[in-house]
Structures are given as structure tokens and as C-alpha cells.
Structure 1
């Protein structure tokens, strides 16, 4: 039965700000009143395709300093878009307070409603409530900090020259992935005093040094070795080694950087830390936003506020978003995070309301509890991708998605199907898929392990090699060159096997 025109939020594809406001109010009523979402205040802005491309090039931030790599990215994305080889996102959302959502002015009105529900309420709720974002980001301060960063780097370019600033930014950007704290909050107390004491001692050694001292014999027996070991332990304790955050260590302890260069390293490090939770919650974040928009637009249709024509357009767009090509499809490039996240959240709703005997066996705490929205809100708040998959991926969904586990050992001539759809296989498939989303298992583990600020000043790094996965040689050497530029003295990297402890390679940049 056709819906009465008077109850519809909009008709046709054209939109204006009055229509956007009316749709926003209706979406907000369902999101907050019926679904119980908790969001930051929303700020919605309409932008052109050119502005969306500009936002792409500056890593999605509304305020960003200048760097040649952003211009290069803009030209690349612009050419693909104008040739029709790549589309643009319908929206862009910023994890800030207020939460900023950019809507494309080229969108139709149904799409404006969908992306408002998706970004302004789905992503917004996730940003505000997920434990990783609460722990590692400050949504209320990020825009002010980015404004400071943009102005500060512009002043540095005026004072020290564009080339000098770009050199520091190039090296800092190369180390962004190794410039975050993964397992603890950033230390509140800086080590500037420790570095200053080291500089003072170094100056004293240089002033009082006499070449005659090197002619004295070294201590006999093991005393000299023990003394060296004690000194190494002491300096590691003072410098808080080993240290996983390379940018932080270089910012605090490099003997050659000027204050303005240290501040630039800090800016890049803060930005890297801001994006750290997003890399661990791609499936959950997109799944949450997709589930929210799907629930809201269906509810609007049930209320008679969305026409059948608009609903067909939105369902077609939704189907494209959650489409998952098969592994033998030419379009396959891995598991679509939208598809996996949305399917898991729909499955949680099913388990909570219409569980099977299998569901009750696998999920006794949530099966049949009737509170599917409360279960989802709890999951959105307390998990990242790896733990979410490990806890909530059901055998029913594994069968639906046709998931299986391949064993690919370097010593074998053939791939082996290691896990199939049986009791043990379900557990193995779920664990294997969860490991694929564990950043600790997939990123290179590189740490500063030692440096003698009063000796040769060589910076010693260690790469703990897991599963025999070595670093690509050309990229490794180029990155070490960037570290050498920031450190100022010799830098060495040793690859140590995580299982045997054997050193597989050593490379240094003198």
C-alpha cells in the first residue's frame, strides 16, 4: 500500500536544508529514543566533490599542515575520479566533539538520510563509547590541536625554510606506524631532564678528555665485563628501554634535533596515536555504522516516513556496501569489513531473539536474552576487531559466509584445508580469523634496545621476527636512513627470531 504523501520526510531526489533538518530530527528520534545510542553533538557540513578529494588527501582531517605528499595524493585521487575509475565516499566523519560529518552535495536526498544515520549516529556512537577511542583519543581537543599544528609548521617554514621542515616531516611520516604507544598510555613525565643531564656529562667528558687514558690497560678478569653490563643495565633503566615508540624516543633523546624539530616529531606522533584505534576497529566501526543506518531506514519505512522508491535506492546502495565477492571472484581483495561487521551484528540480534540449540551451546550468556540492542551496545563499547570476532562469530555465520581455514606453510608443496565446518573446525576458523585482525601479530615488532649517549652513541634497534617474516630490504634500508637523519649517529637493526633467539640479519647505517 502506498504511503500517504503527507507523512513522508521527503519525496524525490532533490534536497534542501529544510528537508535535511526534518530527516535529521526523525533519524535522531529513532537513534536516541528507540535504539538508545549515545553520541557527541553533531555538526553536519555539505561539501563538493573537490572538497571531498581535498579531505582524502589530508588523511580526512578538516585542518592539516602542508606537505608535498598530500598534494601528490590529491592529484592521484582526482585523476582516478575524473576518469571514472574510482568513486568518492558519500560521507566523511571526524572523531571530534562536536562530531563533524561531511555530506557530498551531489548526493540524492535518500542518500543524505542514509549517510546521516550511518555517520552522525553510527560512527558517532562508536567513537564516543568504544574503550580504545576513550583511552587513546581526546575528541574535544583534536581540532584545537590540529589548528595549532597547522599554524606551528607554517611558522617553522617561514623561519627555517620549506626544505628543512619537509626533511623532518618526510622522516617522521616514514616512522608513523612505529610512532604510537600500543600497550600503555603515553608517560606523563617527559625525560627532558634525563637528556639534559646526558648532554652535560657529554660536554664534561669532552672538556676533560685526554688521549693518554686510552693507553691504560683494561681491568683484568671479569670485572671489566661486569662493570660494562652494570652500566648497560643502568642506562637502559634511565632511558626506559626497550622502547617501542621510535618517534617518542627520537623526540626525547636525539642529541642533534632543535626544539622546533622535536615539536614537529611530537605533532606527527600525536596524529599517529589519534588514528591508532581506527586501525584496530575497522570491522566493528563500519559494522556498527552500517547496522545503525540499516535499522533506522527500515524503521522510517515502517513508520510511513520513507517512500518505496527511496527505500529501493537505499537498499541497492546498502547491498553494494556489504557485498562480499567470493574467493574465486576477480573482484575479491579480502574480507569486506562492512560485510563481516554487519553480518555479525545481525547475527547477534538473531541469537538474542531467536536462538537455536547450537547458539545456546556457543553463546549461553546472550542466547535468548531478548535484549539485542543492549548486547550490541556492550560489544561496541568493550571490544576491538580481534576480540569481537573471537567472542561473537557463530558457526551459523561461518556456514553462511562459507569460511574455512587454509594452512600455508613454506615447507609444503600444496595448500592444506586445515579446518572445515565441524565442532573443532569452527573454533579454529574463528581463532584464525581473529588473529588476522590482531595488530600485535601482524605489525613488525621493532624496538630501541640500547644506546650509549656517552660512548659511540650508536642507536641499536631489534626486530623480533615472527613466523619467519622478514622486512623488505629496500624499504628497511630507506626507513633506517630516515631514523639516521633524526638520530644523527650510527643506527643498527638486528633481526632476531622470536622462537629460537637466533640473529637472522644485521644492518647498520653509519
Structure 2
């Protein structure tokens, strides 16, 4: 039996918007989001900004408050030049994982686009931020805005007291180490609000105490008097005292770098806290954008069905939506990889289809959800409990693989030709799904580097290990650049050993010492 929907007067007509129209559209969106889709969101604060303010947000990595750094100005100038020349567009919105959730929309948008981005960001992203387990575990949405204000003010005070050049030197080094400065396996530390409150306590404690560790450690001459067992015990004790191995490089520098002053340690702490804030977003691009795109698609269609959107507005929306989820073929010159919006939206639409109208193939592959008649409940569970890798491994169906015409290429350095060893057919479905899921595994996309040893009795060389998977070594030029930043913070020689993750065989060694 087909449902009948009472037609209502349109929320707006034409492209022009005003705040009254925005309020009416927001209220209509919220009713559908909560009543029909069952979304649970933070309170939302919608702010209208100019294109220049949007460019400024781009420059400061999408955060509403940020300390000053030359790289942000460089990014602003670059994006502004492209935008003014018509070579690059701007995002319709930026949304902040905070409580309340901040949703910035551009004043240049038409009223239809304002409606779309409020559905997309203020409800789709907002629901994902509040409910996904990674964000709940690793981020402090209630404290981020206060912490950013603290960080901005602290950096400004340091620039005034110690000079801009000294502050930039530390921030340059810390920014270079951001990707290797997150806690991946265990949460350590306080909330953002508690961190900012304790900064003054940490500084006062440091001024009242004196750590004589570095002057009183055994010298190399002393160590030479140890037998092999005693020397090994000393190294083990050193590793234990310094908490080695340590995956979070900035945390290690903040706690143990012998030459850093208190304010420099606080700068390292600020940068690593911001890096940790972004850690879940790097793992949920497909699921987060897929959730927001699916939500705005559902809401906009329901608004149109109720008569709240005109046919003209619906056509404008569909034009924008299809551009967002467009996936170029692999041999198209526009191809730049798999579009996360396209893949996420296609998979979530497919989950809805399987829940409502499954095929025999769906029942074989997904017996738990096929025909359960609860698509939105199934998707809310997926949005809460999966990241990109696990979501693809669990929900990517043969139907979607055929739609995208996926195939896998094996590129063996020992072979002269590449081999297509799996395609979207009965033999290749599982291999394709596993391979695609692995490509979203952050541990495979970012180097696995740990501080593993410290020469306390010698020249205080810091030793790091890069666990090499599938023979992929670090780029030499980039490695030397990052080592210079490590030496800048550590103050003594640094050695980076690249060894096979399985056999521990040393494949390459990088070393750098401070300038004399």
C-alpha cells in the first residue's frame, strides 16, 4: 500500500535567502532527521560566513580558532589565488566536531544549497561525530573550543615573550611530527578543558623542581666497566624509565627532550593534542561523508515529497548531489582515486536496499540484515560501530562492486608487468573486498615509527625504528627533513632504523646530528 503524504507550501522560492528562511528550513530538516531517521545530534550553531572567512578556515585546517603560523598564511594565499581565478571552488560548508556543533555555511550559497548543507553538516556529520565510537573514545567535543582559545592565546604570549622566530622553530618541528604523534592503542591524558587548566600548574612545578637525570647518568667509561649482563640490564632499565618503545613522538619529546624549556614543551603538547583530535577523522572519511551524504539525500527527498521544496530547488539539489558523488573511471584523466562520497553513499544506499528489498544474493552474503525492514536502524548501528576499513569489510556487497567495476592490480617490483588478479565476479568478490578494506587501514598508509632506544651513557643518540611492511621504505629526502626537525627538538643525534616488520632485518639506516 503506497503511503500518502500531505503536500505543504514550499519553505522558500527562488535563490535568495534570509535568516527567517534559514530558520524555517532548519526546523523542517530537524523534524525529519529526528522523527524519520532517528538521528541523535549535539546542539547546533549555524553561522553564515563570507568566502574570505571560508578561505581562512581552510588555512587553519578547518578549525574556528587557531594559533598563528606562517604555513596557514601560505595556504590562505594559495587557495585564494586559485579561487579568485576561477580554478578552484570552495566547500559549501565546514562543520566542527564540537559541543555545540559549529556549522559554517557560505553567504554566497543559494537557499537550496543552504538547506542542503544544513542537512548534510548540521545533522549528518553532527550525528556521526556524536555517536561513532572513534570520536567518543578519542575526542573531547565539549572542550575543543576552549582548548583552541587557550592554544591561540598561549602561542601569542610565547611570541611576545620569546620572539616569533623561536616559536615558529618549535611549531615547524612539531607540525612535521604530527602524523607520528597520536596514541593509537591506548588513551592517555586529560580532557581539553583539564589540559588547559593544568598548564600553569605544570610550569610552576617545573620552576620549583630540578631534574638532575641527564648529568648523573653513567658515562660510556662507566658502562665499559659493566659485563654484558649488567650492560643489558642498564639498557633495559633505561627503556623502562623512559617508557620505551613509544609511538607518540611529540609526547616523548615533551616529556624527555633534555634541552626544551617549559613553554616549548607546552607547544609540543598543543600540537599533539590537535593531532589526536584529527585522528578519528583520518579513519572515517568514507563512513563520515557517506553518512552525511545519505542523510542529506534522504532529507531533501522527503522535503520535496511534502511540497516543502519546489521542483526547481530539487533539480538544483540533484545537480549538486550528482557532482559530489561522481566517480570517474580509472582511465579518466579526472580520476584521482576512489571518491569517498561516492563509495560511502553507494554502500549506504545499498544497505537500505538490502534491508527493504533483498535479492537471493543479498540473503546469502548478508543474512543478518537482508529483509530486516529497518534500514535506518541498521545504518545508525554501522555509523556508531565501524570505521572505513571495517565498514567496507562488513558491508561492501557484490552489487556495489559490480556497479563500480572494481578490480585489483598486483604490482610486484620483481615482475616487468602488472597483473589484474581479481575482478568483480564470483571468484574475486572476497579478494576485492579485503583488498579495498586494507587500503583504508591507517596502519598501512602511515609509517609505523617508534622510539625504541636511548643511549644514556654515550652521546645521547635517540634511536627510532620504522617497521617496514611489504618492502615499502621511507622517502630519503622526506626522512632527512623530518630527522632535522627531530634533532631540533631532541638536541642530540638521532638515528632511524628501517627494519622488516616480520624478520627484524635492517634494511636501511638514517642518521643526523645537530650542527656543531
Question: TM-score, normalized by length of structure 2?
Answer: 0.93
In structure 1, how many angstroms separate the alpha carbons of the residues matched to 2:209 and 2:19?
Answer: 61
Cα distance, 1:205 vs structure 2: 5.7
Cα distance, 1:421 vs structure 2: 2.9
C-alpha contact (below 8 Å) 1:198/1:454 kept by paired residues: no
Structure 1 residue aligned with 2:408, among 399, 405, 410?
405
Structure 2 residue aligned with 1:331, among 323, 330, 334?
334
1:120 aligns with 2:122: yes
C-alpha contact (below 8 Å) 1:202/1:454 kept by paired residues: no
SS in 2 for 1:460: strand
In structure 1, how many angstroms separate the alpha carbons of the residues matched to 2:327 and 2:236?
Answer: 53
1:252-299 C-alpha deviation (Å, 9 max, x unpaired): 000000000000000000000000100000000000000000000000
Once structures 1 and 2 are overlaid, which stretch shifts more, 499-508 or 128-137?
499-508
In structure 2, how many angstroms separate the alpha carbons of the residues matched to 1:235 and 1:18?
Answer: 65
Residue 200 of structure 1 corresponds to 212
SS in 1 for 2:510: strand
1:70-98 C-alpha deviation (Å, 9 max, x unpaired): 00000000000001000001111000000
Summarize the Cα distance change of 1:217–1:125 in structure 2 as closer, same or farther, 3 Å threshold.
closer
In structure 1, how many angstroms separate the alpha carbons of the residues matched to 2:70 and 2:367?
Answer: 54
Residue 351 of structure 1 corresponds to 354
Cα distance, 1:390 vs structure 2: 0.3
1:301 aligns with 2:304: yes
Cα distance, 1:187 vs structure 2: 5.1
Residue segments in structure 2 that go unaligned for 5+ positions in a row: none
SS in 2 for 1:100: strand
CA RMSD of aligned residues (A): 2.2
Residue segments in structure 1 that go unaligned for 5+ positions in a row: none
Residue 483 of structure 1 corresponds to 486
Once structures 1 and 2 are overlaid, which stretch shifts more, 77-86 or 443-452?
443-452
1:87 aligns with 2:99: no
SS in 1 for 2:86: coil
Structure 1 residue aligned with 2:505, among 499, 502, 505?
502
Residue 254 of structure 1 corresponds to 257
Residue 58 of structure 1 corresponds to 60
C-alpha contact (below 8 Å) 2:7/2:305 kept by paired residues: no
SS in 1 for 2:212: helix
**Which of structure 1's runs of 4+ aligned residues deviate more than 6 A?**
3-6
In structure 1, how many angstroms separate the alpha carbons of the residues matched to 2:16 and 2:7?
Answer: 16
Q: Map residues 72-111 of structure 1 onto 2, 5 A cutoff.
A: 72-111=74-113
Residue 224 of structure 1 corresponds to 227
Structure 2 residue aligned with 1:370, among 370, 373, 387?
373
Q: Map residues 229-244 of structure 1 onto 2, 5 A cutoff.
A: 229-244=232-247
In structure 2, how many angstroms separate the alpha carbons of the residues matched to 1:98 and 1:500?
Answer: 49
In structure 1, how many angstroms separate the alpha carbons of the residues matched to 2:79 and 2:224?
Answer: 63
In structure 2, how many angstroms separate the alpha carbons of the residues matched to 1:131 and 1:325?
Answer: 32
Cα distance, 1:140 vs structure 2: 0.4
Residue 446 of structure 2 corresponds to 443
C-alpha contact (below 8 Å) 2:48/2:105 kept by paired residues: yes
In structure 1, how many angstroms separate the alpha carbons of the residues matched to 2:210 and 2:461?
Answer: 15
C-alpha contact (below 8 Å) 2:223/2:457 kept by paired residues: no
Cα distance, 1:500 vs structure 2: 2.9
Structure 2 residue aligned with 1:428, among 422, 427, 431?
431
Cα distance, 1:309 vs structure 2: 0.4
In structure 2, how many angstroms separate the alpha carbons of the residues matched to 1:50 and 1:5?
Answer: 39
Residue 342 of structure 1 corresponds to 345
In structure 1, how many angstroms separate the alpha carbons of the residues matched to 2:223 and 2:306?
Answer: 91
1:152 aligns with 2:157: no
Cα distance, 1:166 vs structure 2: 0.4
Residue 418 of structure 2 corresponds to 415
